[in-house]
Amino acid sequence: MAAKTHAGQVGYIRSLNDLFVVIRLTSEQRPGAGQTLTIVDKPEVILLVEASTEDTVYCLNIFGSPNIQQHDVVLIGDQSIMLPSGQSVLGRVFDSMGRVIDGEGDFKGGHKLPMRTVVKQQLGKKNKPEVLETGIKVIDFLAPFVKGRRIGIIGGAGVGKTVLTTEMMHNVADKKAALSFFVGIGERIREGHELYHTLKDRGLGESTVMFMGQMNENAALRSLVGPSAATVAHSFTEQGKDVLFFVDNIYRFVQARNELAAMRGTTPSEGGYQASLFSDLHRFEDSLHATEKGSITSIQSIFIPADDLSDPAVVEISQQLDSTIVLSRDVFERGIFPAVDLLNTTSSLITPEILGERHFNLVGRVKAVMRKYYSLRTIIAIVGESELSPEDRLDYERAQELTQFFSQRMFVTEDLSGKKGEYFTREQTLKGVEKILNGTSTPAPTEPPKEEAEANTAQADTTNEAPHS
Ligand SMILES: Nc1ncnc2c1ncn2[C@@H]1O[C@H](COP(=O)(O)OP(=O)(O)O)[C@@H](O)[C@H]1O
Ligand SMILES: [Mg+2]
């Protein structure tokens, strides 16, 4: 160990395991969680303090700098990781550390904002829910997008989470002068680039801030990108702004924290996850909320390992959300997009107070039909469709129609499919659902026969009006 004491010295490295660094304190000052440290003569190294005790500090070597060793002298660094702030973040792409990575020149605004690692629990009252229309039928109907709340899009690999998240971003950001944050966590690098260009092409680039900690980054950087983006988003809500906060994919945050816990040598608990990771998750989710001044409305995609909805991390994440849209491989394989599982998609915001009696009642009826559909499917597999009673048969057909009805073309896949995207108002969606539920026989899925449309009640006769596009 170095005999001479350096200015700002706090201790020396006692042990190292991958990104996890243990420091022995040699000075009076004890760095707290969120502070940074560095190494003498290696200013490029940043150690982020995770926790400390009387004589020991536990840190992450956030850049994975390979040239640090046991006994290296540790110096005090900044109060926290410092992030960019102000209007000039708009239209830019940052990494977990708040450095620009879009190749569009240096950031001119200074790195001033300390990363929020401790979030005060919000005690203030929740405002009257304000429903925002997304133009996506299934979301507006089953998982309403409410200001200041959190929506999840759950699904296994390749069932359309990213497409649906991006479509929401497109539709909601398109509307008013909304301010959107997009946070890429642990997903493909290419997808981030594509989104950046899609937004630019559609003129949404200037109202969007992107933060990227993709799968090529180490676990420390992947775990920090969410909190970094949330810190910067929070600074906008403090100025009274309403922020839309998109995360793709929050499961990767949990996974990154899990990798870090393994480096620390903690024994995994439930389903291979750390208990501490759930508190990490809560801390992050708690930082996304509405305040007296502004709001953060969050949309998060959630990967399900092995298509297993009972995965402990998936369950834990779902519990943090107000609405969860479940995407199903079964529906996807039938070529229905977005491939939403109408029965498992749930929301605590489905109440008459928030949506009105009419919408609320329709949701109950749709759920009942879908529930019946799944039980009838089992019966049909055994005895065949011809054995159904006329009433059951009608419900069975209505369920199939509903599944079809909730599919729609997306704007963000226009280039891919060559077909124009569709936007439906909530009123159009409600009328469409009513029409199916009140129908007496099966019309063709898209264009109901004219006589039948006319025969229906007055309230249902506008359903085949063209969607806005
Ligand atoms: N709404 C949709 N319309 C058309 N194609 C879709 C839609 N959603 C998904 N796809 C197809 O499925 C692929 C995988 O979707 P993606 O959103 O990347 O899945 P995930 O993020 O769940 O892994 C897309 O590249 C696209 O080909
Ligand atoms: Mg994806």
Its pTM surpasses 0.85: yes
Spatial separation of the C-alpha atoms in residues 65 and 81, rounded to whole Å: 16
Do 182 and 97 lie in one domain? The reply is: yes
Question: Last residue of some domain: 283, 317, 348?
Answer: 348
Please give the share of the chain, as a percent, with pLDDT higher than 90: 59
Question: Last residue of some domain: 329, 348, 367?
Answer: 348
**What pLDDT digit, counting tens, does each position of 123-177 carry?**
554 567 889 899 999 999 999 989 889 999 999 999 999 999 989 888 887 666 6
Whether 394 is covered by a domain: the verdict is: yes
* CATH assignment of the domain containing 455: 1.10.1140.10
- Does residue 148 contact residue 290 with C-beta atoms inside 8 Å? yes
Whether 145 is covered by a domain: the verdict is: yes
HSE of 397 in the Cβ direction (CA atoms, 13 Å)? Answer: 18
Joined together, the tokens standing for residue 116 give 């929020």
Spatial separation of the C-alpha atoms in residues 59 and 440, rounded to whole Å: 66
Write out the DSSP string of 250-270: HHHHHHHHHHHHHHHTPPP-G
Number of structural domains, the chain? 3
> 22: helix, coil or strand?
strand
Whether 1 is covered by a domain: the verdict is: no
Position 465 pLDDT exceeds 80: no
pLDDT at 467: 52
Position 454 pLDDT exceeds 70: no
**Averaged pLDDT score across all residues of the chain:** 87
Whether 293 is covered by a domain: the verdict is: yes
Alpha carbon 386 to chain centroid, angstroms: 44
Q: Parallel, antiparallel, or unpaired for β 323-326 and 20-25?
A: unpaired
- Helical H runs in 126-274? 137-142, 161-175, 189-201, 219-237, 250-264
Position 441 pLDDT exceeds 80: no
Do 93 and 72 lie in one domain? The reply is: no
* CATH assignment of the domain containing 55: 2.40.10.170
Do 190 and 280 lie in one domain? The reply is: yes
Do 96 and 64 lie in one domain? The reply is: no
Most informative mutation of 136, 159, 163 for ligand 1 (most atoms within 8 A of CB): 163
Residue with the bigger pLDDT between 102 and 453: it is: 102
Do 62 and 112 lie in one domain? The reply is: no
Question: Last residue of some domain: 328, 348, 368?
Answer: 348
Whether 469 is covered by a domain: the verdict is: no
Q: Please compute the mean of the pLDDT values over residues 56-77 and round it to a whole number.
A: 94
- Ligand 1, pocket residues at CB < 6 Å: 155, 157-163, 337-338, 410, 413, 417
Do 59 and 144 lie in one domain? The reply is: no
Whether 165 is covered by a domain: the verdict is: yes
Please name the amino acid found at residue 188: R
Host domain of residue 201: 83-348
Do 319 and 388 lie in one domain? The reply is: no
C-alpha 225 to ligand 2 mean position (Å): 17
Spatial separation of the C-alpha atoms in residues 406 and 402, rounded to whole Å: 6
Do 273 and 328 lie in one domain? The reply is: yes
Q: Please compute the mean of the pLDDT values over residues 80-92 and round it to a whole number.
A: 92
Give the number of the ligand closest to the Cα of residue 415: 1
* CATH assignment of the domain containing 88: 3.40.50.300
pLDDT at 384: 82
Do 72 and 106 lie in one domain? The reply is: no
Residue nearest ligand 1's atom 24 by CA:
160
Strand partners, 11: 25, 74
Give the residue numbers annotated as catalytic, written as ranges.
Answer: 161, 187-188
